[in-house]
Amino acid sequence: MKPLMSAMSPHEVRQLIRKGQITGPTAGLAASYAQANLVILKKESAFDFLLFCQRNQKPCPVLDVTEAGSPVPAIAAPGADIRTDFPKYRIYQHGVLTEEAADITPYWKDDFVGFLIGCSFSFEQALINHQIPVRHIEEGLNVPMYKTDIDCVPAGPFSGKMVVSMRPVPERQAVRAAQVTSRFPAVHGGPVHIGNPKGIGISDLDKPDFGDAVTVREGEVPVFWACGVTPQAVVMEAKPDIVITHSPGHMLITDIQNESLAIL
Amino acid sequence: MKPLMSAMSPHEVRQLIRKGQITGPTAGLAASYAQANLVILKKESAFDFLLFCQRNQKPCPVLDVTEAGSPVPAIAAPGADIRTDFPKYRIYQHGVLTEEAADITPYWKDDFVGFLIGCSFSFEQALINHQIPVRHIEEGLNVPMYKTDIDCVPAGPFSGKMVVSMRPVPERQAVRAAQVTSRFPAVHGGPVHIGNPKGIGISDLDKPDFGDAVTVREGEVPVFWACGVTPQAVVMEAKPDIVITHSPGHMLITDIQNESLAIL
């Protein structure tokens, strides 16, 4: 079934998700299209959050922002509905996770603004196309993610440390991995760090703060990219009345071709 | 005097501007540092304008956004004051130019938000470093700018056509010009069009809508880049109560090195 789904159109996949026929993680679906993370906030917080994203583009690359009250991401996926087209959502009230849901229509308000944020799936495809291994995919795990000591640039109530994802890369391919991903600033861009984890405040690669630990083989170097978990962590820290996000790994398939995000 | 000024620090140049000892265009000053365009709006319009910039990053690459009421661009030039450190400003009320001033302190309001927008001076330096001629500099003219038929993606009250700047490039260097400037998405990035002006709705290269016509020599092709005049034109069109911009060519010298804006 997986190979067929990887070849489906974004619209077809979204329809299956909307009907509840796909309920799991979206990795590998409609493989050549960009997937998006979600943060929904009240309009009153939208300027500060957009400014946070503008000031921290590596962890927070914005693909689309919905009009207040509209569930349609008119630029990234004009036929989609952000209330139903992610397989799973998380609802947080005052910074506390209160519910997971497959459909947030009952919670939708006229002053909600949805932010679609680029995802590393897009550049992982580019790495694979260049024969650079992506370990967590090979091992069937979630990518390991770590809190760093790198400060984000604050905006209004939003501030915090950058979260990074890590992929072990054979030493001889590390420069190529940096080159390949630098082409994609709209989906986190080039790495923020190569090598020594302590250099960015990570004490133990075997104990990621999110996701799963992966094998780092002899002759491989850890390569760290800014991660889309950063904006979610920062929003939680600000503890707004209500914020809705996607559940990790359960993304929206956009109509944007990964390759169209390359700047050269 | 010019060579000395090109080697001055951004801080030194800003001090001379603030004291009224530099009153003219800023081209060539502190040459390795990025210069910025300015749009000041009321806070109530800031979200829509920031969203317009996010949706139209090629013409509107944001370098910094000031906190409401603060004249300090804390990221791009922490020691600067956007009320005094541009040599000349334009004040528009309801879309009409009402005054030019060298100091806008008397007009400053607690709800003003300043947007600093990247400028093509940064990539022109990169072109020159690659021995690609920049005709309007050679001819001592302003860069020619044209309204196109390319629609910007609207946001709130802000919408309109993209304005582009044009530089004639020898045919054999056109690809290199595209490569060199693609490294700089924060200052307009790669060209939006190469060749036939009519392809983007420009009827006569000799009649630019802004700036000066320049010579296009035999064997040269016109290359068009998204232009920072776009956001100003779009804001004028929306006719807010008040908007303050820099006067064309009279920019802020930031503390950002041009090369640091390259993404690879």
Give mean pLDDT, residues A248-263: 92
Average pLDDT, chain A: 94
ipTM of the shown complex: 0.85
Residues of chain A with C-beta less than 8 angstroms from the C-beta of B263: 182, 185, 189-190, 263
Q: Is A208 helix (H, G, I), strand (E, B) or coil?
A: coil
Q: Which among A208, A215, A214 is positioned nearest to A229, based on CA atoms?
A: A208
Rounded CA gap, A250 and A87, in Å?
Answer: 6
Residue A6's pLDDT is 78
**In angstroms, what CA-CA distances link B171 with A17, A70, A193, A245, B143?**
50, 47, 39, 49, 19
Residue B2 reports pLDDT greater than 70:
no
Residue A254's pLDDT is 98
Residue B1 reports pLDDT greater than 50:
no
Pick the residue from chain A with its C-alpha nearest to B153.
Answer: A75
pLDDT tens-place string over residues B193-252: 999 999 999 999 999 999 999 999 999 999 999 999 999 999 999 999 999 999 988 999
Of B51, B65, B263, the CB nearest to A185: B263
Q: How is residue B60 written in tokens? A: 């509107």
pLDDT tens-place string over residues B145-172: 999 999 999 999 999 999 999 999 999 9
pLDDT tens-place string over residues A95-118: 999 999 999 999 999 999 999 999
Percent of residues, chain A, with pLDDT higher than 70: 98
Residue A109's pLDDT is 97
Q: Which of B54, B159, B175 to mutate to test the interface with A (most CBs of A within 10 A)?
A: B54
Can you give A31-79 as a three-state secondary structure string? CCEEEEEEEEEEHHHHHHHHHHHHHCCCCCCEEEECCCCCCCCCCCCCC
Residue B264's pLDDT is 76
Flag if A185 and B185 touch (Cβ within 8 Å): yes
Residue B92 reports pLDDT greater than 50:
yes
pLDDT tens-place string over residues A75-89: 999 999 999 999 999
Residue B228's pLDDT is 92
Which domains are assigned to chain A?
121-230 (3.30.2040.10)
Residue A1's pLDDT is 46
Alpha-carbon distance A45 to nearest alpha carbon in chain B (angstroms): 10
Flag if B189 and A263 touch (Cβ within 8 Å): yes
Rounded CA gap, B30 and B257, in Å?
Answer: 10
Q: How is residue B196 written in tokens? A: 């036939």
Per-position DSSP letters for B20-72, written without gaps between them: TS--S--TTTTTTEEEEEEEEEEGGGHHHHHHHHHHTTTT--EEEEPPTT---
Q: Are A56 and A152 contacting, i.e. CB atoms less than 8 angstroms apart?
A: yes
Give mean pLDDT, residues A20-29: 92
Sheet with A193-194: list strands edge to edge.
A145-151, A161-170, A220-226, A193-194
Residue A73 amino acid letter: P
Q: Which of A158, A175, A264 to mutate to test the interface with B (most CBs of B within 10 A)?
A: A264
Percent of residues, chain A, with pLDDT higher than 90: 88
Flag if A264 and B182 touch (Cβ within 8 Å): yes
pLDDT tens-place string over residues B105-126: 999 999 999 999 999 888 898 8
Higher pLDDT, B175 or B264: B175
Residue B121's pLDDT is 87
Residues of chain B with C-beta less than 8 angstroms from the C-beta of A263: 182, 185, 189-190, 263
Q: Is B7 helix (H, G, I), strand (E, B) or coil?
A: coil
Rounded CA gap, A238 and A247, in Å?
Answer: 19
Residue A238 reports pLDDT greater than 60:
yes
In this structure, the strands spanning B33-42 and A242-246 are unpaired
